[in-house]
Structure 1
Amino acid sequence: MDRTGSDVLKTPVIGHDHLPWASWPDDALLDLPMCDLHVGLKGGFLEQPIADLTQELERRGLLFCPHFWLSNEWFTPDGIPGIAVPFYLAHPRLAKLEQAQMLEVEGGTTEWCLRILRHEAGHAIENAFKIRRRKTRQHIFGKSSQRYPMYYSPRPYSRSFVHHLDLWYAQSHPDEDFAETFAVWLTPDSLWEERYRGWPVLKKLKYVDGLMKELRGASPLLTTREEIDPLPHLKKTLREHYERKRRHYGIERQLQYDPDLKRLFSSLPSHACKQSAATFLNRFRREVRRKVAGWTGEYQYTIDQVLEDMIQRCRELDLRVPVAEEQAKLDFTILLTVHTMNFLRSGRHRVAL
């Protein structure tokens, strides 16, 4: 999945040319209350992926189609057969701000957006048909009453869960497991029977397949169009929103970087004339951050916080680059990847639920 670009940044918006904040600098835009953005779902980037999802559901013979609204983030509320979509996907200027604040635009490409929409549709269809109450669903996936964790320890090589969204998201909670399994089932040409042949998770996929065949042509039990936290009701400023969001992903770290950094770089007097490690890392910071994000599926913002800590320690220890630049770049990229994966396995990973 491409986590480095954003289609929404390039998508023209029809009917929103009158918005004065579209030309404001970031500092001014951040002081605007979210309810004063006055953007909608129509006329921009979101129209196509939402239409694609609707067609995918129709092709499966499902009468269910979720309703959509703009809010502060991606989510599907309990008991609501609809999907909240983040406001920043409604306008290229807001996507640009998201990029500046969080270093990426989650769902900002058509493919990425569709992946998330399929996942959220899994939650929404569970609500619409009250699937969580079914005994077989509870037996196969677990009970929804299980408490949602703030942290979880993924097992990257487990064959008991599908792979759809990053960070082995299906492993975080039974509801996420169902939504991820539904998303894989719904994805056109996913070839799930072949891809997961011999895996224990195939039992889950076959259950979803049989369940959806049962629901073909059936009317949803729940049809409310209620919207939770719609954008026009959000009074906090964009600055307040991003301060909270950065705290959410900028997790306190207790990792000790010094031994690894001292093995890679040098504080010996004989290397005092060599390039500063802090300067070196700052120079290719964006490149290494994107590469590690692609390898691990971790948020670039989280990786950047680890990277910032490492750069600060290099500065405090006055470390120098004792080897050729390309070799140092490769060695450090591997080091950062290892620390990121250790962090994911540590159980301290913050889940964006």
Structure 2
Amino acid sequence: MSLKRRPKSSQKREPAWASYSDDDLLNVRMKDLRVAIKGSWLEGQLEQMHDELASRDVAVRAHAWLSHEWFSPHDTPGIAVPFYLAHPRLMRLERKMVMEVEGGTARECMRILRHEAGHVVQRAYGLHRRRRWQQLFGNAGKRYPDHYRPDPTSKRYVQHLRRWYAQCHPDEDFAETFAVWLTPRSSWRKKYADWPALKKLEYVDELMSELAGVKPLPKRRTQMDPMRELRMTLGEHYAAKRKRFAVDAPTVFDRDLKRIFANDQQNAPSASSVIKRHRNRIMTSVSQSTGEYPLALDAALEDVMDRTRVLKLRAAGSEIRIRNDITALLTKRSVTSLYSAGRRQQFAV
């Protein structure tokens, strides 16, 4: 009697580390995670990026691999995608360790991929060697800064990724401009009609029309810092990442807190308990409006709660009003601190 073979399970087998505690997972080496883009939701995101390029007749197809962060090397037409996006368990750990998951939604992932596609296109065609490119964007050979201080009011740059990223380097200026141009239904002519940045968008539009269907010279498809070569543990990776992005938090003064809270309403809940309840919403709102790193905002809110305890402040009145006041306070401090001489340039590259 012949035995019938059982059909293979359509579900992908979960890795053992998916059930580990955070502490145990942090001890795993990055190379031992054995995650991949294939079979993950990232496949669809990358295919959408290529479809958008093809719809504009851009004859470039980037290869992609998993690494420790987002980047596009100079010597290959490829995009490194952060490893944590390949598995929900790793995304949860990322959020716990650095308070955000960069590229963790389909919308945000596409925004970043369009930006990285700009880098690939620039280097594939050597666009930075053109005189007009240099006149508009600057010298691509300029040294990348470790940190940069943007001007949130400037209209010389497009606003695509958060933190006014176009302002950190000529290459990023072009990649951001390209991403705005590539985004379907972005209505960039209308949105940037009275901005000096419109000249850059019009140049990209002219440039891509000139290069429509033109295949760039072939380049070797290599991978920089692929996961299989990263021997550090996740704990070591996050220790370095937290150090890099733990920029100075905005200063909050006692006078501001006394204006928002009271110290003579003993029956009211403590100010710190109310802030704690609304902490995540405050952080999300301020980060989205200012580009401030969640790690910095988390530290700022911790300082705020500590001061309210020392001052014995109480949260009398509407919690929504208090949440809005704290949000407005941190938003103001975050933006105005960009111009503070005492604060180092705040956004890490």
Does TM, scored on the shorter chain, surpass 0.5?
yes
How many residues get paired? Answer: 338
Does 2:236 align with 1:236? Answer: no
- Structure 2 residue identity aligned to 1:248: R
2:288 to 288, 291, 294: 294
Q: Secondary structure at the match of 1:156?
A: coil
Alignment of 1:54 with 2:50, yes or no, is: yes
Q: Give the one of 271, 276, 289 matched to 2:270.
A: 276
1:322 Cα deviation after fit: 4.3
- Matched residues, percent identical? 47
Following TM superposition, by how much is the alpha carbon of 1:103 offset from its aligned partner in structure 2, in angstroms? 2.2
| Residues 57, 64 of structure 1: 8 Å contact kept | yes
- Show structure 1 runs of 5+ residues with no match: 1-13
What does residue 108 of structure 2 align with?
112
Q: 1:188 aligns with which of 175, 184, 190?
A: 184
Aligned-partner residue type, residue 336 of structure 1: L
- Describe how 1:209-288 pairs up with structure 2 within 5 A: 209-253=205-249, 255-267=251-263, 270-288=264-282
Q: Distance in 1 between matches of 2:29 and 2:143?
A: 33
Q: Compared with structure 1, are the counterparts of its residues 153 and 44 closer, same or farther at alpha carbon in structure 2 (3 Å cutoff)?
A: same
Looking at CA atoms only, which structure, 1 or 2, has the larger radius of gyration? 2
Q: 1:288 to 1:256 in 2, by over 3 A?
A: closer
**Contact persistence 2:69–2:82 (CA under 8 A):** yes
Q: After superposing the two structures, state which structure 1 stretch, 284-293 or 92-101, moved more.
A: 284-293
Equivalent residue number for residue 148 of structure 1:
144
For the Cα contact (< 8 Å) 1:46–1:90, is it kept in 2?
Answer: yes
Specify the alignment match of 1:7 in structure 2: none
Aligned match for 1:177, one of 173, 176, 180? 173
Q: 1:132 aligns with which of 128, 132, 153?
A: 128
**Structure 2 residues not aligned, in runs of 5+:** 1-9
CA distance in structure 1 between the partners assigned to 2:138 and 2:11 by the alignment: 46
TM-score (norm 1): 0.89
Q: Verify the 8 A CA contact 1:184 1:190 in the aligned structure 2.
A: yes
Q: Any idea what the Cα deviations from partners look like across 1:27-49, whole Å, max 9, x if unmatched?
A: 11111000101011111110111
Bigger mean CA deviation after superposition, 295-304 or 204-213: 295-304
Conserved in 1, the CA contact under 8 Å of 2:250 and 2:334?
no
Counterpart for residue 161 of structure 1 = 157
Q: Secondary structure at the match of 1:85?
A: strand
Counterpart CA distance in 1 for 2:162 and 2:14 is 37
Q: Is the 8 A contact 1:54 1:65 kept in 2?
A: yes
Paired residues of 2:247 and 2:347 also in contact (CA < 8 A): no
Tell whether the 8 Å contact from 1:265 to 1:320 is kept in structure 2 after alignment.
Answer: yes
Task: Find the partner of 1:304 among 289, 298, 304.
Answer: 298
Letter in 1 for 2:165: Y
> Does the aligned pair in 2 maintain the 1:343–1:349 contact within 8 Å?
no
TM-score (norm 2): 0.90
